[in-house]
């Protein structure tokens, strides 16, 4: 976005609300980051048979491309949909997004939607998001609630249609923000699950920011949210299923690969 226009405080008035929801992309009106290894060569066929390990009867379903063991360990066992948003660099605002799914914990993860181009916070990523840092919080967060200015496109998550999701103004690069919150999915960073994305309850305190959403892309970086093109937002809303306990895994590639 060119020189950013700081949005006014959320919910001060309808227009102020809408402008904050952009800051909502950040922080509640405060100024707003194979297995490899095969047996080595053997001297003859018999030694190959002796040296080769028996097949592991336990599948390895936890592998998701780009996610390392530390990150995978944070994915809840009950999650059967994982929306992976991978930033190019720690300080980059450009990302890629892929939704993975599996019907059963014994199955391997499979790509369901994407890859899609995405944007994240103007200043990249952080593992300690605070209000106004213009970075997206890294981590693994449940996805339980959705909403938007437009009517429900067939979302499986609870959907709050409300005019307060309207927004106007310009982004960091001068791009129009109108329509950015036509569809949103709340990321459960510093929020209470089971309520509208518009709810301002912040369990970690206002200083830790909030209003971090997946929303419609406006062709530029966000204040801390993740954004994808509108047609993909509609696909995502029609696919994320609360019965599958969906989560988002988000961060820069190096962090997620740990």
Q: Which residues belong to the active site?
A: 215, 225
Residue 91 CB-half CA count within 13 A = 0
Nearest CA among 136, 143, 157, 144 for reference residue 234: 157
Pick from 60, 102, 88: nearest CA to 250:
88
Structural contact between residues 226 and 85, judged by C-beta atoms closer than 8 angstroms: yes
74-110 as b/e: b if 16+ CB within 10 A: ebeeebbbbbbbbbeebebbebbbbbbbbeeeeeebe
Report the candidate in 20, 253, 242 with the shortest Cα–Cα distance to residue 142. Answer: 242
Rounded-to-integer distance, Cα 241 and Cα 246, Å: 7
Q: Tell me which residue of 105, 62, 122 sits closest to 249, measured CA to CA.
A: 62
């Amino acid at each position: 976005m060119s020189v950013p226009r700081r949005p006014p405080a959320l919910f001060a008035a309808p227009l102020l609300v809408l402008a904050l929801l952009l800051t909502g992309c950040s922080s509640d009106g405060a100024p707003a980051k194979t297995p490899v290894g095969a047996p080595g060569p053997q001297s003859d066929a018999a030694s190959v048979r002796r040296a080769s390990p028996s097949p592991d009867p336990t599948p390895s379903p936890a592998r998701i491309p780009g996610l390392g063991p530390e990150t995978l360990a944070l994915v809840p066992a009950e999650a059967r949909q994982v929306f992976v948003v991978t930033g190019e660099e720690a300080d980059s605002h450009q990302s890629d997004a892929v939704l993975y799914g599996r019907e059963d914990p014994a199955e391997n993860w499979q790509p369901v939607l994407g890859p899609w181009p995405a944007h994240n916070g103007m200043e990249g990523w952080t593992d300690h998001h605070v209000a106004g840092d213009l970075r997206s919080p890294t981590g693994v967060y449940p996805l339980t609630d959705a909403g938007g200015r437009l009517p429900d496109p067939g979302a499986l998550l609870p959907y709050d249609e409300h005019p307060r999701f309207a927004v106007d103004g310009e982004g960091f690069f001068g791009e129009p923000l109108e329509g950015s919150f036509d569809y949103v999915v709340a990321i459960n960073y510093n929020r209470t699950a089971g309520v509208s994305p518009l709810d301002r309850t912040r369990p970690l305190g206002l200083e830790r920011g909030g209003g971090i959403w997946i929303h419609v892309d406006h062709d530029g970086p966000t204040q801390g949210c993740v954004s994808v093109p509108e047609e993909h937002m509609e696909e995502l809303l029609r696919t994320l299923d609360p019965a599958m306990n969906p989560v988002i895994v988000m961060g820069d590639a190096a962090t997620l690969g740990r």
